[in-house]
A and B are shown apart, each in its own frame.
Chain A
């Protein structure tokens, strides 16, 4: 027996154990437990990834119970890539949150660590679950942890947190109804067994519709994105980074699993993929225009997330038609996650230093907080997709595949979206290089250096992902063969 299955257990149990320790350890010990757990989880994810690369996809039947009664944990290339992304961005979030909560006014700082580690554990469990009911449980855990983290910001965001909770519940209930229908039809909950047994019919079609709509609510796919801006903009900065960077990616990952694998054989698959891409196109344009209209920094970044989810949806039919496009999707998701984390970190630093995040009144922050300004600019470079950044490589591969497939409308939307992104990010960054009035400079509180460098690290990661293309291709080539179960 290789070490692979052990890593599978470790990536799920380590963050959950860390959450318990952080809860017991209280305010000071919580941060230490959180940082240590981040390190351990990252190490376990690296171990799992190298096992996947070296020995192929990993699988473990939990408790030794064989399928279809038992639950399988699985890691193929896609799961490993998402785990790795969560580990890198998650470590950045832990690093940022350490000084952020230690220095800031948040009384609820002690509760951040257990809930954040719970969220991380739910994310990891979601990525390695091979069972659609288990996925429902991880979706609920993820949603509840995310809502609790948003509520840490205090009374001002309770309404946004409640709205998010209601729609998250709606999404997972619709998903659960789909699970029930699939179990009634096929008598198994296992993703690979279901994929092998999938056949057209009323129950699978209804299940596919319910699960897809449920996941669209959770992923904030246009036009079901309405809950996102208030929730993501109102949360504490490290939480916003986790929500925009990681949590929406989990819903998207499940949509990928559904429409590239589980339902790929259904006759309506192409239609649904194209419909999702059309909604993605609308999201890119709508999110971009709304971001341009914002006068505060955090809502601007949140609307940018709506647009960036659109890009991921746009890539869905391309990835279904040509597996070579899958690395493009993952690179886009990864560079967005790290760039968006960097931006929310910067927004948090500015908010703490200036006491507000009105863009027009942040004049001259580049001279006062040069590291933050540099991090924001670098993240913007990757988000817009300027050459050599992670965002560029993702968009380039996307456009290349779209041209090859003759999908010119996708090319047009990608280019228009990039122009919009350049416009709103320039609008956000322009005041930074203006000259600050003396009175404003005097009001500014000193900013801790570690959170600023955490932001810079995330931004640099987002740029460096431009070099990750070959690695992503090698990793994503590792897949399970559902046909073998037929």
Chain B
């Protein structure tokens, strides 16, 4: 098994686990972590792709690397915004769950 294939398979597994948590968890911090794991899985897939596309020049595909870097910046900003809102909700409503997920 090549390293690129291993990266790809791990990426798919991470994306699946992240997606499951993002949808199934109720605590918002957990869901947010799920999204981050999903993102990490997608980025691993992209890195694997870049290695697969290594051409005659012996260099990996730079486009996938640029995509991963951009994706990380986007993920960090989104996580920061979500954490700020989560803190604000926890302060005002005393819960880190969405209203529909709170125990009655």
B49, A183: Cβ atoms closer than 8 Å: yes
B98, A187: Cβ atoms closer than 8 Å: no
Cα(A162)–Cα(B38), bound, Å: 18
Interchain nearest-CB distance for A140 vs B (Å): 5
A158 part of interface (Cβ distance < 8 Å):
yes
A184, B49: Cβ atoms closer than 8 Å: yes
B71, A176: Cβ atoms closer than 8 Å: yes
**Across the two chains, which residue of chain A brings its CB closest to B35?**
A169
Chain B residues whose C-beta falls within 8 Å of the C-beta of A166 in the assembled complex: 22, 28, 31-32, 35, 82
Interchain nearest-CB distance for A198 vs B (Å): 19
Chain B residues whose C-beta falls within 8 Å of the C-beta of A177 in the assembled complex: 15, 42
Chain B residues whose C-beta falls within 8 Å of the C-beta of A144 in the assembled complex: 77-78, 81
A158, B42: Cβ atoms closer than 8 Å: no
B74 part of interface (Cβ distance < 8 Å):
yes
Given A137-B74, A173-B42, check contact A69 B63 (CB 8 Å). yes
Interchain nearest-CB distance for B99 vs A (Å): 5
Chain A residues whose C-beta falls within 8 Å of the C-beta of B77 in the assembled complex: 140, 144
Which of B45, B78, B89 sits near A158, CB closer than 8 Å?
A: B89
Could you give, for residues 181-212 of chain A, a 1 whenever the CB lies within 8 Å of some chain B CB and a 0 otherwise?
00110010100000000000000000000000
A258 part of interface (Cβ distance < 8 Å):
no
**Across the two chains, which residue of chain B brings its CB closest to A227?**
B98
**Across the two chains, which residue of chain A brings its CB closest to B82?**
A165
Q: Which of A69, A155, A165 has the most CB of B within 10 A?
A: A165
**Across the two chains, which residue of chain B brings its CB closest to A150?**
B85
A162, B28: Cβ atoms closer than 8 Å: yes
Cβ-Cβ contact count across A and B, 8 Å cutoff: 78
B86, A162: Cβ atoms closer than 8 Å: yes
Cα(A173)–Cα(B31), bound, Å: 14
**Across the two chains, which residue of chain B brings its CB closest to A139?**
B74
B78, A169: Cβ atoms closer than 8 Å: yes
Interchain nearest-CB distance for B53 vs A (Å): 7
A44 part of interface (Cβ distance < 8 Å):
no
Which of A140, A143, A162, A173 sits near B85, CB closer than 8 Å?
A: A162
Interchain nearest-CB distance for B5 vs A (Å): 13
B45, A180: Cβ atoms closer than 8 Å: yes
Interchain nearest-CB distance for A79 vs B (Å): 22
A183, B74: Cβ atoms closer than 8 Å: no
B67, A133: Cβ atoms closer than 8 Å: yes
Interchain nearest-CB distance for A449 vs B (Å): 35
Within 8 A of B (CB), among A58-91: 68-69
Within 8 A of B (CB), among A142-176: 143-144, 147-148, 151, 155, 158-159, 161-163, 165-166, 169-170, 173, 176
Given A173-B38, A173-B39, A189-B63, check contact A151 B85 (CB 8 Å). yes
**Across the two chains, which residue of chain B brings its CB closest to A141?**
B74
Given A165-B78, A165-B82, check contact A158 B92 (CB 8 Å). yes
Chain A residues whose C-beta falls within 8 Å of the C-beta of B27 in the assembled complex: none
Q: Which of A68, A133, A159 has the most CB of B within 10 A?
A: A159
Chain B residues whose C-beta falls within 8 Å of the C-beta of A161 in the assembled complex: 85
Chain A residues whose C-beta falls within 8 Å of the C-beta of B93 in the assembled complex: 155, 158-159
A180, B42: Cβ atoms closer than 8 Å: yes
Interchain nearest-CB distance for B79 vs A (Å): 9
A180, B81: Cβ atoms closer than 8 Å: no
Within 8 A of B (CB), among A313-344: none
Cα(A147)–Cα(B88), bound, Å: 14
Interchain nearest-CB distance for A422 vs B (Å): 32
Interchain nearest-CB distance for A189 vs B (Å): 7
Cα(A183)–Cα(B53), bound, Å: 11
Chain B residues whose C-beta falls within 8 Å of the C-beta of A133 in the assembled complex: 67, 70
Given A69-B63, A170-B22, check contact A163 B85 (CB 8 Å). no
Cα(A151)–Cα(B86), bound, Å: 11
Which of B39, B70, B89 sits near A162, CB closer than 8 Å?
A: B89
Chain B residues whose C-beta falls within 8 Å of the C-beta of A165 in the assembled complex: 78, 81-82, 85
Chain B residues whose C-beta falls within 8 Å of the C-beta of A189 in the assembled complex: 63
Within 8 A of A (CB), among B11-49: 15, 19, 22-23, 28, 31-32, 35, 38-39, 42, 45-46, 49
Q: A144-B81, A162-B28, A169-B78 are in contact. List 20 more A-B contacts (CB 8 A).
A: A69-B62, A133-B67, A133-B70, A137-B70, A140-B77, A148-B81, A151-B88, A155-B88, A158-B89, A158-B93, A159-B89, A159-B98, A159-B99, A162-B86, A162-B89, A165-B78, A170-B22, A177-B15, A180-B42, A180-B46
Interface residues of B (CB under 8 A from A): 15, 19, 22-23, 28, 31-32, 35, 38-39, 42, 45-46, 49, 52-53, 62-64, 67, 70-71, 74, 77-78, 81-82, 85-86, 88-89, 92-93, 98-99
Interface residues of A (CB under 8 A from B): 68-69, 133, 137, 140, 143-144, 147-148, 151, 155, 158-159, 161-163, 165-166, 169-170, 173, 176-177, 180, 183-184, 187, 189
A and B contact pairs by CB, cutoff 8 A, 28 listed? A68-B63, A69-B62, A137-B70, A137-B74, A140-B78, A144-B81, A147-B81, A151-B85, A155-B88, A155-B89, A158-B85, A159-B98, A159-B99, A162-B82, A162-B86, A165-B78, A166-B28, A166-B32, A166-B35, A166-B82, A169-B78, A170-B35, A177-B42, A180-B45, A180-B49, A183-B49, A183-B67, A184-B49
Top 10 A-B residue pairs of the complex, sorted by shortest distance between their CB atoms: A155-B92, A158-B89, A140-B74, A162-B85, A158-B88, A184-B49, A169-B35, A159-B99, A165-B82, A180-B45
